[in-house]
């Protein structure tokens, strides 16, 4: 099943995504034991896609693929650890990534698998962690590298508005770790890697997180990337994970968008 959030009539509405249409739902499939009712239908073509969930907590993993670690000349993590990102950075499928006018140097995309949590968890074991994942979506971790190296934290380099496209939907029926992640710029493939080729998988991270923190329905866990790719205004960046979908976003320079 594929679930999305759309802007319909100026408000956010959950939907169940079909081949041609999206069934609009009375509420979130993440809330409560009862499935929401169908309240209408809209064509899938031309839909205004929102981030498929607005997370209570936005967790993000770094340096989780061996090739990325080697390229960065970094140490391989000895245990699962996470950071945090800001919800203001989220944007949806087909919405623009806006490069701030002040950004110089490398402006990069990183294609990531995203786990969406479906139940409350504390001190979870691996089996419980697997069962707690509601579904999977796709993220693009956009970074302004000059800011990343100038600042003490990632507050603007990774958390500026529009720097975290996510979507287009949540896929609930896929073996996400057996898929392939592909990054394309203007239709040209720039990176391809096995999605599951991680140092620590999502379940390892959930077990470690919930030793100390309670996870809640709607929390998201971005799993890192093997490769990065430079972006320029005018580009269109596509992140595909087969079996989940394609997240596509144009890149615009600040001041050159409506």
Task: Give percent above pLDDT 90 in the chain.
Answer: 95
For residue 43, pLDDT beyond 80: yes
Side-by-side strand order, sheet with 229-230: 143-144, 107-109, 229-230
Distance CA(255)–CA(258), nearest Å, equals 8
Please enumerate in sequence order all residues whose Cβ is within 8 A of that of 78, keeping only pairs 6 or more positions apart, or say none: none
Task: Give percent above pLDDT 70 in the chain.
Answer: 99
Q: What is the structure's pLDDT at 33?
A: 76
For residue 258, pLDDT beyond 80: no
Q: What is the DSSP string of 94-152?
A: TPPEEEPTT--S-EEE-EEEEEEE-S-BSS--HHHHHHHEEEEEEEE--EEHHHHHHSS
> 71 or 45: whose pLDDT is higher?
45
> 210 falls in which pLDDT band (50, 70, 90)?
very high
- Tokens describing residue 87: 């919800």
DSSP summary character for residue 156? T
CB atoms within 10 A of CB 90: 24
Q: What is the structure's pLDDT at 61?
A: 97
> 1 falls in which pLDDT band (50, 70, 90)?
very high
For residue 147, pLDDT beyond 60: yes
Q: What is the structure's pLDDT at 46?
A: 93
Q: What is the structure's pLDDT at 257?
A: 58
Going from the C-alpha of 53 to that of each of 41, 60, 98, 130, 228, the distances in angstroms are 20, 15, 21, 19, 24
């Amino acid at each position: 099943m594929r679930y999305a959030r759309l802007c319909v009539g100026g408000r956010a509405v959950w939907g169940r995504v079909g081949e041609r249409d999206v069934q609009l739902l009375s509420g979130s499939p993440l809330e409560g034991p009862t499935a929401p009712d169908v309240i209408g239908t809209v064509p899938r073509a031309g839909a205004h896609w929102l981030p498929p969930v607005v997370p209570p907590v936005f967790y993000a993993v770094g340096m989780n693929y061996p090739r990325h670690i080697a390229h960065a000349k970094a140490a391989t993590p000895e245990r699962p650890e996470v950071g945090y990102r800001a919800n203001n950075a989220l944007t949806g499928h087909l919405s623009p990534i806006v490069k701030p006018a002040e950004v110089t140097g490398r402006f990069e995309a990183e294609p990531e698998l995203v786990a969406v949590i479906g139940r409350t968890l504390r001190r979870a074991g691996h089996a419980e962690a697997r069962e707690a994942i509601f579904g999977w979506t796709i993220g693009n971790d956009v970074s302004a590298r000059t800011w990343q190296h100038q600042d003490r934290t990632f507050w603007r380099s990774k958390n500026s508005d529009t720097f975290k496209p996510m979507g287009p939907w949540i896929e609930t029926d896929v073996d996400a770790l057996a898929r392939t992640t592909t990054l394309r710029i203007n239709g040209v493939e720039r990176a391809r890697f096995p999605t599951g080729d991680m140092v620590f998988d999502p379940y390892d991270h959930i077990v470690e997180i919930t030793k100390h923190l309670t996870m809640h329905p709607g929390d998201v866990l971005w799993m890192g990337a093997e490769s990065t790719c430079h972006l320029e205004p005018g580009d269109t960046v596509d992140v595909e994970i087969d079996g989940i979908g394609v997240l596509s976003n144009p890149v615009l320079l600040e001041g050159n968008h409506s």
